[in-house]
């Protein structure tokens, strides 16, 4: 594990390539360590009453893998890195991270950067709209994701 407090001066992709878990804030590292401890103890995540836990199972795990693949594709194909996104995934499960991003009043910096790169297909919004993952999200979240993508001119795949 590496705690890099000056990510602008570090080669984060190279550290990850070498197999390090890289964190860019103490909070993200602490969240990761706490989650490891909870997993080891068999404890469930504590959530507020309004936040539902994702349904455990293959669909949730597949979504997590898809989030990581989208991040890796953005990095490998466009040179885009998002340390804050990595921290968010370290602090909470991928479905929880997506809920958090979708609940924001505006698009994330990562969304904006991917739009600049012409890669809206790699956004969380595009992932949650995939038929295999949409059951993990509310109708409101799906509408918000669709609206954001439409607003930025995303052409939805025909299928």
- Residue matched to tokens 């958090």: 100
| Across 77-94, average pLDDT | 81
Assign 58 to helix, strand or coil. helix
Write out pLDDT tens, residues 121-148: 999 999 999 999 999 999 999 999 999 9
Domain that holds residue 68: 2-41+59-151
pTM exceeding the 0.85 threshold for the entire prediction: no
| Across 90-103, average pLDDT | 87
Instruction: Evaluate whether residue 112 is within a structural domain.
Output: yes
Instruction: Evaluate whether residue 50 is within a structural domain.
Output: no
Instruction: Evaluate whether residue 51 is within a structural domain.
Output: no
Strands (E), 4-127: 22-23
d(CA 16, CA 126): 25
Write out pLDDT tens, residues 8-64: 677 766 766 676 666 666 666 666 666 666 666 766 444 433 444 444 555 788 998
Query: What SS3 string covers 58-99?
Result: HHHHHHHHHHHHHHHHHHHHHCCCCHHHHHHHHHCCHHHHHH
- Evaluated on CA atoms 36, 141, 137, 63, the torsion sign reads negative
How many Cα atoms within 13 Å fall on the side-chain side of residue 16? 17
Write out pLDDT tens, residues 29-40: 666 666 666 666
Domain count for the chain, please give it: 1
């Amino acid at each position: 594990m590496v705690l890099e407090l000056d990510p602008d001066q570090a080669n984060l992709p190279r550290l990850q390539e070498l197999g390090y878990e890289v964190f860019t804030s103490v909070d993200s590292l602490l969240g990761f360590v706490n989650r490891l401890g909870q997993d080891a103890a068999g404890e469930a995540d504590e959530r507020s009453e309004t936040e539902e836990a994702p349904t455990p199972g293959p669909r949730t795990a597949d979504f997590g893998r898809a989030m990581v693949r989208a991040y890796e594709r953005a990095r490998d194909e466009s040179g885009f890195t998002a340390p804050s996104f990595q921290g968010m995934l370290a602090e909470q499960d991928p479905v929880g991270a997506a809920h958090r991003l979708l609940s924001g009043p505006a698009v994330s910096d990562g969304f904006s950067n991917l739009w600049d790169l012409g890669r809206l297909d790699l956004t969380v919004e595009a992932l949650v709209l995939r038929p295999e993952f949409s059951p993990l999200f509310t109708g409101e979240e799906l509408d918000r994701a669709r609206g954001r993508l439409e607003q930025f001119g995303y052409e939805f795949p025909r299928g």
